[in-house]
Structure 1
Amino acid sequence: MAAVDPNVDPVGYLGMTRNPDGSITRLPGPPPLATPASSDPSNNPFHFTKDVTINESNGNWARLFVPRETFASSPLKKLPLIIYFHGGGFVVMSVSTPLFDDFYKAIVTELPAVVVSVEHRLAPEHRLPAAYDDCMEALYWIKNSKDEWLTKYADLSNTFLMGTSSGGNIAYNLCLRVSACVDDLMPLQIKGLILNGPFFGGTQRTDSELRLANDKLMPLCATDLMWELCLPVGVDRDHEYCNPTVGIKSHQFDHIKALGWKVLVTGCYGDPLSDRQIELVKILEEHGVLVLGKFEKGGSHAHEFFDPSKAKALCIILKEFTASSSTS
């Protein structure tokens, strides 16, 4: 995001400008951080990484991460697979955003795990459900992939869908889709869902949104703008893509319960979105889903990207969750 006060200029904060006709133009930003395919430890002492194409026609790709020691381990032990969806309100950010680098490193090395971070199309050029469709396509690509890093080092039968912020929204909505077609994804077997500070909204303001309306990272004016830009034209913030608490059907979670999938929702009370995240945990509990909510005092939205100690603490939670879900 641009170095602009979001409470003063939310459009500029997203690196955009609003045209006289009301449309949005994306301003030129810094070039993405390229990471060449390499298993040379001099490039990164912690993990090896490479980029793979999923769908060239729509720019859908992914970045793979494997812990360095896994390449040399003998006998070889396959690791859990984390399929990760990045944040950015569906509007900004990329797999290659430098801000995410240390967080990838923490997940890959602290758990340890193989990570596939998925790139998807952004709004407003490509409104929802484009991001959901791209990430769903990525699951099928992984399922069919002959890439050696996946076939040799990743345990596809021990897979977790994880997302931060809007990526958590993606993981949640993908979970609803995937739970109804698990046989189609074999040998990819999902064990659990990790929603890290997920991005949800609604037309009725929550207490945490009002209390933190002028938050420096996620003020209401910025989140409102993100939803304006990413939701289908003509719908409001009570659309199912934005507000998971409306229009819930009695059978909506039946497949998830039958599969025994566990759901982890993490967050903090310093996040304007915390009330919505806590409400989702309550709804899942009421419908019999195996859900664990982990919320800490204070903090801020996505603070693990700015504070290494927060990233490490989160990874401890992730390690316990993935271990318990793998054995269930």
Structure 2
Amino acid sequence: METDADEVVLDAPEHFRVYKSGRIDRFHGTVLVAPGVDDASGVSSKDVVLDAGTGLSARLFLPNCQQQQQPSSCKKLPILVYFHGGGFILGSAKSATYHSYLNSLVAAAGVIAVSVEYRLAPEHRLPAAYDDCWAALQWAASAQDAWVSEHGDAASVFVAGDSAGGNIVHNVLMRASSSADDGAPRVEGAVLLHPFFGGRTAVVGETQRAVTITGKVWGFACPDAADGADDPRINPSAPGAPGLERLGCERVLVCAAEKDWLAPRARAYYNDVAASAWRGSAAWLETEGEEHVFFLHKPECDRAKALMDRVVAFIAGA
């Protein structure tokens, strides 16, 4: 017999379904793969527990060239800390989608990557994911793992993420700035891929449907937010939000897709960063004719390859 608790309050076909009771059915991103050596790229991966108390873990990726040399003769690699997407509700560093993407990115960019397996809502409402990703960044920069200490360059740390992961990138950067006097890691650059931002009032080019969807997802992931969708963590330009000049990195690349319903928010974010008193450099890339996170679903298409090339060039300093 169906009860009020069985009422569906948020339904994203093919992705997830949320019930009034707080129960969630996840349909997307649940196919997990084991770490190992990728036949196509030669990239090696392994899983590491970062905090046994919270269950925080990460999947580490190491490019093939580093496996064929002695540590003393290896060039130190940039360290990339990656935050997956999924609306704070879905996704896993161990999913087939993200495992494949990180293999490709690590091989192309020549970095050692730490893909964070952060806690998900509703079982762990925000700020759990923010706290996990901040802890993972600190862990990576402190080079506690042998792969990171032998092959990683702690002076060249990058953060990147897609969708909700792009939102996490912003929030980690703001925390890095506010924690600078407490030994926060120095972040050289950040890549926000189709970031998940929202707000109560539509920005230029944003539909009311987009406002409604982001508000619902945010309200489910962070029900304690006093300002709702104008909480500064989801709307960095909300009244009273900390100034974007506080971003704790030197360079930022913001990427969007033309047909993505989140693109207007990403564009507004980039414009606000560029117009702020932040002393870093901001770059913008919009892919024509594509949808949200298309590069994860169509990695072999020309536009996905072009986006990969731009991210690789950004990490290299171009």
**Which TM-score band applies after superposition, normalised by the shorter structure?**
0.7 to 0.9
Tell me what 2:314 maps to: 321
* Corresponding residue of 2:258: 269
Q: Quote the offset at 1:133 in angstroms.
A: 0.7
Secondary structure in structure 2 of the residue aligned to 1:319:
helix
- Contact 1:33 / 1:97 at 8 angstroms: preserved in 2? yes
- Between 300-309 and 137-146, report the one with greater CA deviation: 137-146
CA distance in 2, matches of 1:61, 1:160: 18
Q: Tell me which amino acid in the other structure corresponds to 1:72.
A: Q
Offset at residue 105 of structure 1 (A) = 1.7
1:298 aligns with 2:289: yes
Deviation, structure 1 residue 295: 1.0
1:210 and 1:164 map into 2 onto residues whose CA distance is 21
**Correspondence for 2:305 among 308, 312, 327:** 312
Q: Kindly report which structure 2 residues correspond to 1:277-288, keeping only aligned pairs within 5 A, or say none.
A: 277-288=266-277
- Structure 1 residues 250 and 137 mapped into 2: Cα distance closer, same or farther (>3 Å)? closer
Contact between 1:264 and 1:292, CA under 8 Å: does it hold in 2? Answer: yes
- The aligned residue for residue 190 of structure 1 is 187
**Distance in 1 separating the partners of 2:282 and 2:309:** 17
Q: Does the CA contact (< 8 Å) of 1:139 and 1:185 recur in 2?
A: no
Deviations 1:54-75 (A, max 9, x none): 1222221100000112211463
| Alpha-carbon distance in 2 for matches of 1:228, 1:285 | 29
Partner residue of 1:66 out of 42, 57, 62: 62
Distance 1:125 1:196 in 2: 25
Does residue 225 of structure 1 match 2:199? no
Q: After superposition, where does 1:226-245 map in structure 2 within 5 Å?
A: 226-233=217-224, 235-245=227-237
Q: 1:12 to 1:57 in 2, by over 3 A?
A: farther
In structure 1, the partner of 2:202 is 205
Name the stretch that deviates more: 81-90 or 124-133.
Answer: 124-133
Q: Structure 2 CA distance, aligned partners of 1:55 and 1:27?
A: 27
1:14 deviation in Å? 3.8
Size of the aligned set, in residue pairs, is: 302
Distance in 2 between residues matched to 1:42 and 1:253, nearest whole Å: 40
Contact 2:199/2:215 (<8 A) preserved: no
Would the aligned equivalents of 1:11 and 1:225 in 2 still touch at CA under 8 Å?
no
C-alpha contact (below 8 Å) 1:161/1:193 kept by paired residues: yes
Letter in 1 for 2:77: L
Choose 156-165 or 53-62, whichever is displaced more.
53-62
Q: State the match for 2:6 in structure 1.
A: none
Instruction: Flag structure 2 segments of 5+ consecutive residues without an equivalent.
Output: 1-8
CA contact (8 A) 2:38 2:44 kept: no
Structure 1: give runs of 5+ residues left out of the alignment: 1-7, 214-218
In 1: Cα distance, 2:58 partner to 2:255 partner: 24
In the alignment, the residues of structure 2 paired with residue 202 and residue 130 of structure 1 have an alpha-carbon distance, to the nearest angstrom, of 21
TM-score, structure 2 normalization? 0.85
- Deviates further, 95-104 or 223-232: 223-232
What is the aligned counterpart of 2:107 among 106, 109, 125?
Answer: 109
Name the amino acid aligned to 2:228.
D
Displacement, 1:228? Answer: 2.1
Aligned match of 2:34: 35
Superposition TM-score, scaled by structure 1 size: 0.83
